[in-house]
Amino acid sequence: MRVFVTGASGYIGGSVAASLARDGHVVRGLVRSAEKEAAVRALGIEPVAGSLDDRALLLEEARGADAVVNAASSDHRPAVEALLEGLRGTDKVFLHTSGSSIVADNACGDVASLAIFDDDHRPAPVPERAARVAIDRLVVAAGASGVRAAVLCNTLIYGDGLGPHRDSIQVPMLVAQARKSGVARHVGRGLNIWSTVHVEDMVDLYRLALVKAPHGAFMFVENGEASFRDMAAAIAHALGVAGPEPWPVEEAAAEWGLARAVHTLGSNCRVRGPRARQLGWQPRRPPVLAWIEGNVR
Ligand SMILES: NC(=O)c1ccc[n+]([C@@H]2O[C@H](COP(=O)([O-])OP(=O)(O)OC[C@H]3O[C@@H](n4cnc5c(N)ncnc54)[C@H](OP(=O)(O)O)[C@@H]3O)[C@@H](O)[C@H]2O)c1
């Protein structure tokens, strides 16, 4: 199969692209610097120099591919529109990467939410997430216009990436702070819970969806969940530092920025993804707390 991947030098896109190249697929990956071109080439990915703003390039790559994986951004609507246009009426697969913060709350670490959403039951988006949700809906709707389009809505991804970019977002942020200060901390009381998935299980789902994605499917990508207090405790233990300790959101914001402190590290984001399992997905990597204990040093 000939697959075009955006974000090929990134954590998600690089992991998917490297895995597909290893399986023998012809993988063309969008990159935007000479340094990244070399990095993806070393993994057997053919670099395509350009950016998500190059509409003509995205159209051409989509038309020349058997399938497209969009993993550079969950929020770049013009790129999604161009890729869908290039695929319209072909019945080819388009996998769009979204993120489960579309259901996140403003708990600031102080509440373990009881609200659990799933593929078919999602709340109306808060204003900050409305644009991302609108892109997800555009992709789902494309299922009716001759594209086997699906949204893979990732949760907190952990584990070492398989491409040029090894680090995900939340766990590495907690680890970096703990290393720097000698104290593992979480926002507020750390009671907030996120659904999680190991990066290699996520890659397995992308590979499966390339073959079996139903038209217009929305899938949460999750396999378990953990509170931020428990993740910080596992980090403290793994690094041999103090903690876990609560951190007022204002102090956490000084370290991570307000949006990251509130939305990325202080919110609840609990989801279930039955549709991925109905496709036959069988996640098998260790849960996040065991992974931290076994791999963070
Ligand atoms: N990691 C997670 O836990 C997670 C979970 C859910 C959703 N998401 C979302 O999924 C998306 C990808 O996440 P990630 O963790 O893989 O991020 P990442 O490691 O930063 O990778 C993003 C990739 O996209 C490329 N890129 C970004 N903007 C581009 C543009 N305008 N033109 C061309 N290439 C562009 C980057 O290129 P450079 O290498 O040149 O920077 C990089 O290769 C993000 O929107 C993120 O919010 C991530």
Residue with CA at minimum distance from ligand 1 atom 26: 72
Q: How far is the CA of 240 from the centre of ligand 1 (A)?
A: 31
DSSP state of 166: -
How far separated are the first and last CA of the chain, in Å rounded?
38
Atom of ligand 1 nearest to the CA of 72: 24
Q: How far, in Å, CA of 84 to CA of 63, rounded? A: 10
Q: Which of 193, 215, 199 is CA-nearest to residue 272?
A: 193
User: Which residue's C-alpha comes closest to atom 8 of ligand 1?
Assistant: 99
Q: How far, in Å, from the CA of 232 to the mean position of ligand 1?
A: 24
pLDDT values of the chain reduced to their tens digit, one per residue, 297 residues: 999 999 999 999 999 999 999 999 999 999 999 999 999 999 999 999 999 999 999 999 999 999 999 999 999 999 999 999 999 999 999 999 999 999 999 999 999 999 999 999 999 999 999 999 999 999 999 999 899 999 999 999 999 999 999 999 999 999 999 999 999 999 999 999 999 999 999 999 999 999 998 889 999 999 999 999 999 999 999 999 999 999 999 999 999 999 999 999 999 999 999 999 999 999 999 999 999 999 999
By most ligand atoms within 8 Å of CB, the mutation choice from 48, 69, 73 for ligand 1 is 73
- Fold adopted by 2-105+116-158+197-222: Rossmann fold (3.40.50)
Which residue's alpha carbon is nearest to atom 45 within ligand 1?
73
DSSP 36: H
Taking the C-alpha atoms of 57, 59, 63 and 68 in order, what is their torsion angle to the nearest 10 degrees?
90
State the residue for tokens 């051409």.
60
How many Å apart are CA 129 and CA 203, to the nearest integer? 25
Question: What is the pTM for the complete model shown?
Answer: 0.98
